[in-house]
Amino acid sequence: MRRLLRAARPDPEEEPGRASRHAAAEGAASQGAGPTAAEPGAGDGAASSSSGGEAPAAPDGHASPVGAGAADGAAAAMTGRRTLGDHLMRYPMLRAGVYAWAVIGLAAAAVVVGLAVGQLRLVVVPLVLALFPAALLAPLVALLRRVRVPRALASLATILAVFALLGWVGTILVPQIGDEIPELVASVEEGIVEVETFLDETTPFGIDATEVRTQINELVDQIDVDAALELARAGALGAATAVAEIAGMTLLLVVVLFFYLKDGDRLGRWARNLFPRGVRDDVEAVGLRAWNTVGAYFRGQLLVAVVDAIGIGLGLWILGVPLALPLAVLVFFGGLFPIVGAVVTGAVAVLVALAASGPFIALLVLAIVVGVQQLESNVLAPLVLGRATALHPLAVLVSITAGAILLGVLGAFLAVPIAASVARGVQTLNERREARRALEPAPA
């Protein structure tokens, strides 16, 4: 019987956490009645087992339950509950190892996702691409909803209106531009010849134009040969398969776009609920910021491209440069690719002016191109796009280059809004973390 009682009795040396919490509870309970004498074994045992030091003494010489029980007991409880985060902060090598394995795991997951997307590209690509026109057209659907148009009808009417607009523009511009494309190509080639002649005669900075021209021609010939061989290998069957895939993806994209416009809120809530409860608010905030960023970018970039095309095209028409309309259309499409598109289309306009009207008019065209683009980048773009989609020029160039390498022209077109969305998403997470940190109570 004595052995059973001794086994049931808690030993302060073996269970410091229980004794410390008991002492802390006694200390908290005794605060309202003033200092009282505690049992010698309980208070002293808790203090010695938790901190290894001596408890502060009360005026009567005994250990104070408030000092020894509450403070040292709480310290012992905290020490006995060390978490993984505490170990990571305490051991840098352990923290570095965890981060390294996390990076390896994320890279492996990215490879698996990339392989899966490659196999399911006929489904995944339309699902992703439809997000961009949906973000662009969502305000128009919301406007129709305000006048009590049903959601399905508003979505369908918006898509039909876009197709009608594109068809009307194509009917007007395609015949005119199609007839002038050969002349445009010939003018560009003539302008390049004049630049080469100038370099041959002046040899600025020691540049040998003949050698540069030879290397460029060899590269172009090699590219053409590679493309011809690839087409020959693909054959008629491969071309037919590619056409069928593109037609199927386009049809699926239109259907997905309709449902994005019609049930976007419901789909957003469904995607949000796929995540754990603890991160759903952050996911929703990041998703909304990315959605607004993509929509603002495309709406603003379209307006900027229109202004560039009108300004440069009007300047070309006033100076009497031929092919002003095709060049204006080219400037519009180039304006959809920040920085890179403006440089390329501006150079084409200058070359056409050089071939058709001489160096003086070409310099005037260069001045117009630079002036319009400076007005657009310093006044119009900040006003229309705002800070929500602002990226450093280096980030824009890197994004466009990476997108072009991965997906060609389509990747270059989508690279900047994706990069801007990622940047704004990270900024949103940081802002929410700082807000939660500011609400935490300050340590006593």
DSSP readout, 324-369? HHHHHHHHHHHHTSTTHHHHHHHHHHHHHHHHHH-HHHHHHHHHHH
Residues 394 and 416: their CA atoms lie apart, in Å, by 11
If we measure between CA atoms, which residue out of 355, 307, 315 comes closest to residue 334? Answer: 307
Residues 221 and 346: their CA atoms lie apart, in Å, by 25
Give the type of residue at 262: K
Asked whether the predicted pLDDT for residue 11 surpasses 70, the reply is no
Burial of 395 (0-12, 13-18, 19+ CB in 10 A): middle
pLDDT of residue 29: 43
Check residues 427 and 92 and name the one with the higher pLDDT.
427
Check residues 253 and 237 and name the one with the higher pLDDT.
253
39 confidence band (pLDDT: 50, 70, 90): very low
Asked whether the predicted pLDDT for residue 104 surpasses 60, the reply is yes
Residues 73 and 53: their CA atoms lie apart, in Å, by 12
Contact at 8 Å (CB) between 340 and 424? no
Asked whether the predicted pLDDT for residue 57 surpasses 50, the reply is no
| Both tokens assigned to 28 | 């908290």
Residues 261 and 157: their CA atoms lie apart, in Å, by 11
Query: What's the chain's average pLDDT?
Result: 73
Contact at 8 Å (CB) between 43 and 68? yes
Asked whether the predicted pLDDT for residue 400 surpasses 70, the reply is yes
Asked whether the predicted pLDDT for residue 413 surpasses 70, the reply is yes
| Both tokens assigned to 288 | 């909304």
221 confidence band (pLDDT: 50, 70, 90): low
Helix (H, G, I), strand (E, B), or coil: what is residue 57?
strand
443 confidence band (pLDDT: 50, 70, 90): low
Q: What is the mean pLDDT of residues 403-422?
A: 82
pLDDT of residue 16: 47
Check residues 215 and 393 and name the one with the higher pLDDT.
393
Residues 72 and 53: their CA atoms lie apart, in Å, by 9
Q: What is the pLDDT of residues 282-331, one digit of tens each?
A: 888 888 888 888 888 888 888 888 888 899 989 989 988 888 888 888 88
Asked whether the predicted pLDDT for residue 424 surpasses 90, the reply is no
Residues 193 and 214: their CA atoms lie apart, in Å, by 13
Can you list the positions of beta strands (E) in 127-219? none
The alpha carbon dihedral of 286, 292, 298, 303 has a sign of negative
Q: What is the mean pLDDT of residues 87-102?
A: 74
Apex 387 CA angle, 381 and 391, nearest 5: 80
Check residues 239 and 95 and name the one with the higher pLDDT.
95
Q: What is the pLDDT of residues 169-202, one digit of tens each?
A: 878 777 777 777 777 777 777 777 777 777 666 6
Residue-by-residue DSSP string for 201-269: HH-GGG--HHHHHHHHHHHHHHHHHHHHHHHHHHHHHHHHHHHHHHHHHHHHHHHHHHHHHHHHHHHHH
Residue-by-residue DSSP string for 61-106: SSBPIIIIIIIHHHHHHHHTT--HHHHHHH-HHHHHHHHHHHHHHH
160 confidence band (pLDDT: 50, 70, 90): very high
Give the DSSP H/E element, type plus range, for residue 270.
helix 209-273
The pTM for the full model equals 0.62
Q: What is the pLDDT of residues 432-442, one digit of tens each?
A: 888 888 887 76
The alpha carbon dihedral of 7, 12, 16, 18 has a sign of positive
Asked whether the predicted pLDDT for residue 359 surpasses 60, the reply is yes
Report in angstroms the alpha-carbon separations of 61 from 55, 64, 369.
11, 9, 91
pLDDT of residue 268: 86
Q: What is the pLDDT of residues 139-157, one digit of tens each?
A: 899 899 899 889 899 999 9
